[in-house]
Structure 1
C-alpha cells in the first residue's frame, strides 16, 4: 500500500510541474522555473522510490503516465482553457484501459 501512496504523490507533483511548465509560457515567466525543475526532480524521485518499494516498472510507469496525461488534460481545460474534445476523452479512456489491462495481467504472475 505504501508504494501506491508514494506513486500517487509522485503523480500529483508531476502534474503540478507540468501545469507549471504550461504556466511559465516557455519559461518567459521566470518565477516558474524553480517549481517546474524541483517538481520534476521530486516526481522522478517518487517514481524511483515506488520502484524501490517493489512495484513493477511496467505498472508504476504506466499508472504514472496515464494518470499524468488524464489529470493534466482535465485540469488544463479548466485552468488554461485548453481544448478537451470527446476524441481526447476517448483517448484518455483508452490509455487508462490499457494501463489497467497491464496491471491486471501483472497481478496474475
Structure 2
C-alpha cells in the first residue's frame, strides 16, 4: 500500500499546521516560549510533510485540501480551545470551503506519475 503514504503525510501535515496555528494564538504574540516553540516546529514539520506528499500528489488539489482542512481545523480548534464564537454564517462558510475542495478534486486526479 505505498500509494496510501502520501495521503498519510498530507494528513500529518494538516495536523501539524493546525497545531501550529492554534499555538500561534496561544503564544500571545510570541510572548510565551512554549507555544511559540510549537508554532515554529509545527510549521516546519507541516511544510516538510507537505513537500514529501507532493512528490506523489498534484499540487493544486493537495494545496486545496491542506489549506481548507487547515482553515476548518483552526476554526474548530479556536471554538473548542479559546471559546471563539461559532455563528451560523461561519458554519456555512466552512461548508462552502469543504464543498470547494470536493469540486476541485472532481476536476482532476490528486495523484500523478
TM-score (norm 2): 0.90
Counterpart CA distance in 2 for 1:36 and 1:75 is 15
Counterpart CA distance in 2 for 1:89 and 1:3 is 29
Secondary structure of residue in 2 paired with 1:25? coil
Runs of 5+ in structure 2 lacking a partner?
A: none
Residue 92 of structure 1: how far off its partner (Å): 0.8
Q: How many residues align?
A: 107
Residue 30 of structure 1: how far off its partner (Å): 2.2
Aligned to 2:11, which of 8, 30, 50?
A: 8
Deviations 1:17-62 (A, max 9, x none): 000000011112122221110100000001101101x210011100
Q: Which moved more, 1:87-96 or 1:23-32?
A: 23-32
The answer to whether structure 1 residue 41 and structure 2 residue 41 are counterparts is no
- Calculate the aligned-residue CA RMSD, in Å: 1.3
Shift >4 Å, 4+ stretches: none
The answer to whether structure 1 residue 17 and structure 2 residue 14 are counterparts is no
TM-score (norm 1): 0.93
